[in-house]
Amino acid sequence: MDHTRISADAQLRERAARVIPGGMWGHLNAAKLPANYPQYFVRGEGCHLWDADGRELIDFMCAWGPMILGYSDPDVEAAANAQRRQGDVLNGPSARLVELAELMVGTVAHADWAMFQKNGTDATTTCAMIARAAQGRRKILVARGAYHGAVPWCNPYPQGSTAEDRAHLITYDYNDSASLERAVAEAGDDLAGIFVSAFKHDLGKPHELPSPAFAKAARALCDRSGAALILDDVRAGFRLHMGGSWETMGVKPDLAAWSKAIANGHALAAVTGNDRFRQAAAHIFITGSFWTASVAMAASLATIAKLKAIDGPAIMRRMGERLRAGLDAQARAHGVALRQSGPPQMPVILFDDDPERRKGWLFCSEALKRGVYMHAAHTMFLSAAHSEADIDRALEATDQAFAEVARQFG
């Protein structure tokens, strides 16, 4: 693909290499993706993206989660624009703060109160602080391999943080009640909280829904010890259930962390909690320069209202099931073995016998050539803007991508 050398994307990457360390930070560095993946985008509408070179793509990453109703959703943007004309960051919050807290409390099943931040990491960190402040305990349990953000207390990569930053973390295995019990025993009377992901969505691993037994064990262990059950709903929030992802299990957390999709792409995070943790939440010192910004809150009010009105989770489930069934049939027809897992709204597709993900990335880059943006290792995302026609168009591309995988890998 020699023309990529002079593409707009390549030119931006060249300039970035001079003024941005590594060209791009974190998981978004496109150098880690196949060569035909764009780094830069210019526009999004519905479930369609346009990259810096004008290629139109049907998007199954949804901005890595934040987009849930479609890029540039007209109702969300109208609410955001109306608020922007009045003010965004002021000396303090606008009425949108109270309205949004009321809406979260009315929507999220376990919630008696809500607080707002900007990023998912702000929300998970706030949850850990509230849990620790509640009873002056230190130990926080997290599942091995689970991602809860990129600050030192939870950053999974060691560069730039110390072992001491994570001194009071104890790990357990997701969906393994016995290992959770062992971790609780190790924490003893210093147990502040247990973090659980909405479901097991570790990078590059098959995704697993929580088993009812595990969810109930986590709840019971927190009830017995007085520790906080903390649901990290940052990635899954409002895609599986409007009341919170563990409503599908009938288990209520004490605290929950939200971000990604709650304002359809506007920067916003939230912590919801029950009355047992209200006092602690009121007494920790936590703040941010932009945490009361009203535009994102107006966007969130419109996003949540619309998701409820159209039953967003049901639409995403239906579209995800259509995609999954189509991919399964194609894989069988091409004699390619793969495993689709995760809830249909948030799939991950992993090929069998593919330790270095060469099949996975070949499949994705062949799909990308034909206008479909997927990922070979990370959770993908459906949105309420995906239509049957979009799924069917995407499936035309994946059929040819499977053919190429079958041709190269036999």
Ligand X SMILES: *Cc1c(COP(=O)(O)O)cnc(C)c1O
- Contacting positions for ligand X (CB under 6 A): 119-121, 124, 147-149, 197, 232, 234-235, 259
Which CB atom, from 11 or from 155, has the smaller least distance to ligand X? 155
Give the single-character DSSP code of 24: S
Compute the least distance from the CB of residue 232 to ligand X, in Å: 5
Compute the least distance from the CB of residue 247 to ligand X, in Å: 17
Which residue, among 12, 78, 81, 4, has the nearest Cα to 36 in the 3D structure? Answer: 4
Which CB atom, from 121 or from 274, has the smaller least distance to ligand X? 121
Compute the least distance from the CB of residue 83 to ligand X, in Å: 22
Q: Tell me the H-state helices in 110-176.
A: 120-135
Compute the least distance from the CB of residue 32 to ligand X, in Å: 17
Provide the pairing of β-strand 191-197 with 48-51: unpaired
- Measured distance between the N- and C-terminal CA atoms of the chain, rounded to whole angstroms: 24
Please name the residues in contact with 2: beta carbons below 8 A apart, sequence gap of 6 or more: none
Provide the pairing of β-strand 269-273 with 255-258: antiparallel
Compute the least distance from the CB of residue 201 to ligand X, in Å: 7
193 forms bridges with which residues in the sheet? 140, 228
Q: How far apart are CA 383 and CA 65, in angstroms?
A: 9
Give the single-character DSSP code of 102: H
Q: Which residue is nearest to ligand X (CB)?
A: 120
Which CB atom, from 39 or from 197, has the smaller least distance to ligand X? 197
Which CB atom, from 145 or from 326, has the smaller least distance to ligand X? 145
Which CB atom, from 124 or from 303, has the smaller least distance to ligand X? 124
Which CB atom, from 203 or from 213, has the smaller least distance to ligand X? 203
Compute the least distance from the CB of residue 64 to ligand X, in Å: 7
Q: Longest Cα pair distance anywhere in the chain, in angstroms?
A: 64
